Structure 1
Amino acid sequence: MNHDEWTDRLESTTVTVDDHDLEMAYYDEGDGQPLVFCHGIPTSSYLWRAVAPAFVDDYRVIVPDMVGYGESTMDDRFDRSIRAQERAVADLFDRLGLDSVSFVGHDLGGGVGLRYAVHEPDAVDDLVLSNAVCYDSWPIETIVDLGLPSTVEEMGVDGLTETLESVFRDTLYGDADDALVEGLVEQWASEEGAVSLSRNAIGTNTSHTTEIDPSAVTARTLLLWGAEDEFQPIENAERLEDDIDGADLVGLEEANHWVPADRPEVYREELRAFLET
């Protein structure tokens, strides 16, 4: 599925965060238990294109673009931290009438899921964290640099998109998926997009994960991790495994940070096996 085909399937609603009304785009297909997939930085819901649609026959699959990303609001007037993203996602769930979900989060989206599972234990039945930000493991240097407005201004839109394309191509395992790379980079290819990415980057606040006690998670938990990640190494998953009661760790070989894209078939298999246990 190319990027245009994906975005054509997205819906939109208004969520409220800190008294700001923000448009949030999301994929919503299928029936049954809600199964949510949440992306990280600097990706979008498109990261899940090879995973999420495979579950629509058995679940109600919901894949949001976090605010400040993808087809969601990008204007320059709101907080994009994972605290705010957690509130945005929670409001989306309320507006969609979801009492409980199975939550799958990658990177920053994993940090959102971890916070939500701690704060709303009755609302999360299953929690799946993939190469998620946690503890004080983030942000990485590239994101710190992008959080400086002067960096993005000096790079310009073309320089920014070239940098992001290089990052994806260098860190996707094996041959890069051209359609995926182009789709993930396209959202930032404008002045508004470039500023939004900088605001997203500067909103990465380590305090929002260090304040969370993973041992408070009561949901069934799977740590489905790319074993060769250079950004969020598998040692972080091992620490989460020790801290979350009953958590299972599955490390996927031949997978870097972008594990849903690196090993989509195996990722689907492991996720389905966990959900159906």
Structure 2
Amino acid sequence: MSVAVHHRTVTVDGHEVFYREAGEPTAPVVVLLHGYPTSSHMFRHLIPALADRYRVIAPDHIGFGQSAMPSAADFPYTFDSLTEITAGLLRELGVDRFAMYVQDYGAPVGWRLALRDPDRITAVISQNGNAYEEGFVKPFWDGVFAYGENPGPATEAPMRGALTLEQTRRQYVNGVPDPSLVSPDNWVHDQALLDRPGNDEIQLGLFRDYLTNVPLYPRLHQYFRDTQVPLLAVWGANDEIFGPAGAEAFRRDLPDAEIHLLDTGHFALESHFADISGLIRAFLGRVLG
């Protein structure tokens, strides 16, 4: 059966937020939160695969994809701000309770939403979306943490290097046994958006702010222990950014967490879409009914 995916925008706090949506308006909601350096484009196949049972909503963060890109001088590019916009979007769309899929940058946004109102979250799917310090893979994070702790020309230079086409491509193909399964359209699309004038300052701002996520982890772990929210961790085990120890750590606070480590990398949907979509459908079917 064909599923209609709508491409829409809504104004939140004066900013146009783009989102993809499919499924019946009265169905249980699943919110898909993308990571860096991509957008809701990463969910282009997953949305129709879930929309026969769920109302699926996938926004582009401000500064990413088709959403507004105010300058770094006009908008505070922090994870708190991205969360405010996401919360505003859900409010505009009348979404009260929802399951969420978090990946990379989508994780700290999703964790903040959960900490604000734990009762709203019906389930969590984490695909290389970190919640534990064990997940940070060195040496990748050394440069990010150095820049966050001591911003300046010396620490900024490696971060600017992360904004290149070579590094964008690497995020997609590193750790993937058969890179031919990953469409080059991904990194070409992402890089075109990264290369927009002024977007470098946006990304540098978020790199600097990433350190604010780690102090939230103890509160997040308490949230896990208190709520025992159903959680599926489906993880690219070869990810050089968020390693498999980050997936396995969920069981420390959520003993019933369902964890699957797949032989792929950071953007696991690109090479293992059938596996991941099947695991998500089975998981949501059990926990949401």
Matches within 5 A, 1:168-187: 168-171=171-174, 173=176, 174-175=178-179, 176-187=182-193
Matches within 5 A, 1:66-81: 66-75=61-70, 76=72, 77-81=74-78
Matches within 5 A, 1:67-216: 67-75=62-70, 76=72, 77-136=74-133, 137=135, 140-141=141-142, 143=144, 160-171=163-174, 173=176, 174-175=178-179, 176-205=182-211, 206-216=213-223
Q: CA deviation at 1:266?
A: 0.5
Would you say the 8 A contact 1:39–1:105 is kept in 2? yes
Distance 1:151 1:74 in 2: 27
Distance 2:170 2:48 in 1: 26
Distance 1:146 1:23 in 2: 30
Structure-2 change in CA distance of 1:264 and 1:9 (3 Å) = same
| 1:44 paired residue among 39, 42, 45 | 39
Q: CA deviation at 1:245?
A: 4.8
Residue 58 of structure 2 corresponds to: 63
Distance 1:142 1:153 in 2: 9
2:11 corresponds to 1:14: yes
Structure-2 change in CA distance of 1:9 and 1:189 (3 Å) = farther
List runs of 5+ in structure 1 lacking aligned partners: 1-7
Residue 276 of structure 1 corresponds to: 285
Structure-2 change in CA distance of 1:83 and 1:245 (3 Å) = farther
Range 198-207 or range 96-105, more displaced = 198-207
Distance 1:149 1:49 in 2: 38
Would you say the 8 A contact 2:172–2:267 is kept in 1? no
What SS does structure 2 have at the residue aligned with 1:131? coil
Q: CA deviation at 1:37?
A: 0.7
Cα-Cα RMSD: 2.9
How high is the TM-score relative to the length of structure 2? 0.80
What SS does structure 2 have at the residue aligned with 1:256? coil
Would you say the 8 A contact 1:68–1:74 is kept in 2? yes
Residue 16 of structure 2 corresponds to: 23
How high is the TM-score relative to the length of structure 1? 0.83
Residue 259 of structure 1 corresponds to: 268
Can you list the C-alpha shifts for 1:51-100, whole angstroms capped at 9, x where unaligned?
Answer: 22211222111001112211122222223332222222111111100110
Structure-2 change in CA distance of 1:214 and 1:121 (3 Å) = same
Range 260-269 or range 215-224, more displaced = 215-224
Range 104-113 or range 209-218, more displaced = 209-218
**Sequence identity (%):** 24
Would you say the 8 A contact 1:231–1:257 is kept in 2? yes
Distance 1:208 1:81 in 2: 15
Structure-2 change in CA distance of 1:114 and 1:165 (3 Å) = closer
Letter in 2 for 1:39: H
Would you say the 8 A contact 2:6–2:22 is kept in 1? no
What SS does structure 2 have at the residue aligned with 1:90? helix
Structure-2 change in CA distance of 1:158 and 1:120 (3 Å) = closer
Distance 2:155 2:42 in 1: 23
Structure-2 change in CA distance of 1:67 and 1:152 (3 Å) = farther
| 1:243 paired residue among 253, 260, 269 | 253
What SS does structure 2 have at the residue aligned with 1:203? helix
What SS does structure 1 have at the residue aligned with 2:194? coil
Can you list the C-alpha shifts for 1:22-47, whole angstroms capped at 9, x where unaligned?
Answer: 32211112111111110112221111
Distance 1:216 1:188 in 2: 34
| 1:224 paired residue among 234, 249, 253 | 234
Would you say the 8 A contact 1:146–1:198 is kept in 2? no
Q: CA deviation at 1:101?
A: 0.6
List runs of 5+ in structure 2 lacking aligned partners: none
